[in-house]
Structure 1
Amino acid sequence: MSQRVQGVISRAKGAPVELTTIVVPDPGPGEAVVRVQACGVCHTDLHYREGGINDEYPFLLGHEAAGVVESVGEGVVNVRPGDYVVLNWRAVCGECRACRRGRPQYCFDTHNATQRMTLEDGTELSPALGIGAFAEKTLVAAGQCTKVDPEASPAAAGLLGCGVMAGIGAAVNTGGVTRGDSVAVIGCGGVGCAAVAGARLAGANRIIAVDLEDRKLEQARGFGATHTVNASAADPVEAIRELTGGFGADVVIDAVGLPSTYEQAFYARDLAGTVVLVGVPTPEMRLELPLLDVFGRGGALKSSWYGDCLPSRDFPMLVDLHLQGRLDLGAFVSEEIGLGDIEEAFVRMERGDVLRSVVRL
């Protein structure tokens, strides 16, 4: 039987979000209902509210979540009721050309729940990134549920569902950072600080954080940055080169996603170095680089989508590292709030006052 729970929706472009009653159906084949315990407030949720993703209003917002599986549908074998899970927005299909080649982290046919949650009047909701976790309960594809150690706090573990995983994965998976590497991270919000943490986990010996605000640079030091550059006071390209013997960093991660920061990343890397774009650009942005420089500098120019993660592999590993004291996921949690506080959390996020606000249910 369907359930009525409280959830936060966006009805129209730019309109304040609303806390209202939503209807969650029983799980069908391949689906699961999850009781949400915590969900981070991510920039992507704000993009949905502002129409930056698509115009399929109303949206059920929220996607960085952890909780407990309440019920599962026919054919589900990967999770069962009572399992503590982190939700992900890329349930791999196992059958596409990427999956068949043994690269499921690049799955080209990821999927979500088939059924839709609705408002009480029957209006179908579009769940953010196929999750919709600013709600007491949500319906997802069972493959979007990844079991992790229940000793981890939901507020901390849930952040692996998007931003923290994107940053760590940009360094470890996409950038291939390894022992002894020099790494520069441009932009030290939540994703950038996670990239710093990932570089430290991978054994980089020099991690250079770049931002326009000293407060964010100090945060980056807390996650493992060995050097900082305030780009409002110094040329970041020259500063990174000076800190790497005049050569440039082995891996430069652009966690901002502007043409200007990407160009800085391109020229701040060493010959044969790697640039990783994990900051999300907008559709109108264009980039111009001399093709001879692209050819002559060698190396790799990569984009990192969700940190090129495989949730079934990466989430449990990172939670274990957290519980071992080697990765402080809790440090990303700036505040815990209620379902009714999300609109104010968007304001604090836009001002850069928080790494992550987390809704606790």
Structure 2
Amino acid sequence: MAQRVRGVIAPGKGEPVRIETIVVPDPGPGEAVVRVQACGVCHTDLHYREGGINDEFPFLLGHEASGVVESVGEGVTEVAPGDFVILNWRAVCGQCRACRRGRPWYCFNTHNARQKMTLEDGTELSPALGIGAFADKTLVAAGQCTKVDPAASPGAAGLLGCGVMAGFGAAINTGGVTRGDSVAVIGCGGVGNAAVMGARLAGAAKVIAVDIDDNKLATARRLGATHTVNSRAQDPVEAIRELTDGNGADVVIEAVGRPETYKQAFYARDLAGTVVLVGVPTPQMKLELPLLDVFGRGGALKSSWYGDCLPSRDFPMLIDLYLQGRLDLDAFVSETITLDGVEAAFDKMAKGEVLRSVVLL
């Protein structure tokens, strides 16, 4: 029987979010209903509200979430009712050319629940990143549920569902940071600071955090940055080069998603170094670089999709590190709020006052 729960929707482009009654259907084949325990307020949710993703309003917002599986549909074997799970937005198919080649983290056919959640009048909702977790319960594809140790704090665990995994994975999975490397991270919001933490955990000798906000740089220091650069006060490329014996960093992670900062990343890397783009650009942005510089500097220019993570592999591992005290996920939780605090959390996020506001349900 379909259930009626509270949920936060974005009714139209630029309009304030509001709480509505959401109808959640029983799970069909390959689907699961999850009772949400916590969900982070991510920039992507704000992009949805502003129409920056698409115009398929109304959106059911929220995607950086953890919770408990309540029920599953026919054929579901990977999770069962009662499992504590982190939700992910890239449920791999196992059948596409990437999956068949043993690279499921690049899956080209990720999927979501087939059924739609609706408003009480039958209006279909578009769940953010196929999740829609600013709600008491949500319907997802079972493959979007990754079972982890229930000893983890729901508020901290849920952050692996998007921003923290994206940043951490950009350093470890995409950038291949290893012991002794020099790493620069441009943009120290939630994603960038997760990259700082990942680089430090991987054994990087130098981790250089770059931002225009001293508060974010202070947080980067706490999470493992060995050096900080305020790019309002000094040229970040020159600063990074000075801190790396004039060479540039082995890996530069761009966590802003703008042409200006991407160029900084490109020129701040060492010869044959790696640039990783994990910041999300808008559709109208263009990048222009001298092709000779691209050729002459060698190395690799990479984009990081969700930190190139495989949730079934990475989420349990990172939760184990968290429970061992080696990965401070709690440091990313700036405040906990209720569903009616989402709009105010967007304002704080836009002002750079928080790493993450987390809705507890």
Q: For the superposition of Structure 1 and Structure 2, which TM-score range results when normalised by the shorter chain?
A: over 0.9
CA–CA separation in structure 1 for the residues paired with 2:316 and 2:23: 31
- Which residue of 2 is the match for residue 122 of structure 1? 122
- Which residue of 1 is the match for residue 224 of structure 2? 224
- Which residue of 2 is the match for residue 246 of structure 1? 246
- Which residue of 1 is the match for residue 15 of structure 2? 15
Task: Number of aligned residue pairs: give it.
Answer: 361
- Which residue of 2 is the match for residue 332 of structure 1? 332
CA–CA separation in structure 1 for the residues paired with 2:270 and 2:145: 39
- Which residue of 1 is the match for residue 105 of structure 2? 105
Quote the offset at 1:156 in angstroms. 0.1
Alignment of structure 1 residues 201-216 onto 2, 5 Å: 201-216=201-216
- Which residue of 2 is the match for residue 260 of structure 1? 260
Quote the offset at 1:298 in angstroms. 0.3
The one-letter code of the counterpart of 2:186 is: I
CA–CA separation in structure 2 for the residues paired with 1:91 and 1:230: 38
**Scaled by the length of structure 1, what TM-score is found?**
1.00
Alignment of structure 1 residues 66-215 onto 2, 5 Å: 66-215=66-215
Runs (4 or more) in structure 1 with deviation over 6 Å come to none
Answer with 25-34 or 281-290: which moved more: 281-290
Quote the offset at 1:278 in angstroms. 0.5
CA–CA separation in structure 1 for the residues paired with 2:285 and 2:55: 20
Quote the offset at 1:113 in angstroms. 0.2
Aligned pair 1:3/2:3, yes or no?
yes
The one-letter code of the counterpart of 2:324 is: Q
The one-letter code of the counterpart of 1:336 is: T
CA displacement 1:151-171 (0-9 Å, x = unmatched): 000000000000000000000
CA–CA separation in structure 2 for the residues paired with 1:75 and 1:17: 36
Quote the offset at 1:284 in angstroms. 1.2
CA–CA separation in structure 1 for the residues paired with 2:123 and 2:291: 50
- Which residue of 2 is the match for residue 50 of structure 1? 50
CA displacement 1:42-82 (0-9 Å, x = unmatched): 00000001111111111100000000000000000000000
- Which residue of 2 is the match for residue 282 of structure 1? 282
CA–CA separation in structure 2 for the residues paired with 1:54 and 1:267: 33
- Which residue of 2 is the match for residue 318 of structure 1? 318
CA displacement 1:80-103 (0-9 Å, x = unmatched): 000000000011000000000000
Quote the offset at 1:305 in angstroms. 1.0
In structure 1, the residue corresponding to 2:34 is in which secondary structure? strand
In structure 2, the residue corresponding to 1:280 is in which secondary structure? coil
CA–CA separation in structure 1 for the residues paired with 2:359 and 2:120: 23
Quote the offset at 1:300 in angstroms. 0.1
CA displacement 1:324-347 (0-9 Å, x = unmatched): 010000000000000011000000
**Scaled by the length of structure 2, what TM-score is found?**
1.00
Quote the offset at 1:245 in angstroms. 0.7
CA–CA separation in structure 2 for the residues paired with 1:52 and 1:289: 26
CA–CA separation in structure 2 for the residues paired with 1:195 and 1:12: 33
Quote the offset at 1:293 in angstroms. 0.7
In structure 2, the residue corresponding to 1:225 is in which secondary structure? coil
The one-letter code of the counterpart of 2:155 is: A
CA–CA separation in structure 1 for the residues paired with 2:49 and 2:265: 30
Give the CA RMSD over aligned residues: 0.5
In structure 2, the residue corresponding to 1:77 is in which secondary structure? coil
Quote the offset at 1:233 in angstroms. 0.8
The one-letter code of the counterpart of 1:71 is: S
- Which residue of 1 is the match for residue 25 of structure 2? 25
Quote the offset at 1:195 in angstroms. 0.3
In structure 2, the residue corresponding to 1:246 is in which secondary structure? coil
CA–CA separation in structure 2 for the residues paired with 1:284 and 1:93: 31
Quote the offset at 1:359 in angstroms. 0.1
The one-letter code of the counterpart of 1:130 is: G
Quote the offset at 1:212 in angstroms. 0.7
In structure 2, the residue corresponding to 1:69 is in which secondary structure? strand
The one-letter code of the counterpart of 1:177 is: V
Quote the offset at 1:24 in angstroms. 0.4
In structure 2, the residue corresponding to 1:28 is in which secondary structure? coil
Quote the offset at 1:288 in angstroms. 1.0
Quote the offset at 1:215 in angstroms. 1.0
Quote the offset at 1:201 in angstroms. 1.2
Quote the offset at 1:283 in angstroms. 1.1
Quote the offset at 1:276 in angstroms. 0.4
In structure 2, the residue corresponding to 1:124 is in which secondary structure? coil
The one-letter code of the counterpart of 2:37 is: Q
In structure 1, the residue corresponding to 2:45 is in which secondary structure? helix
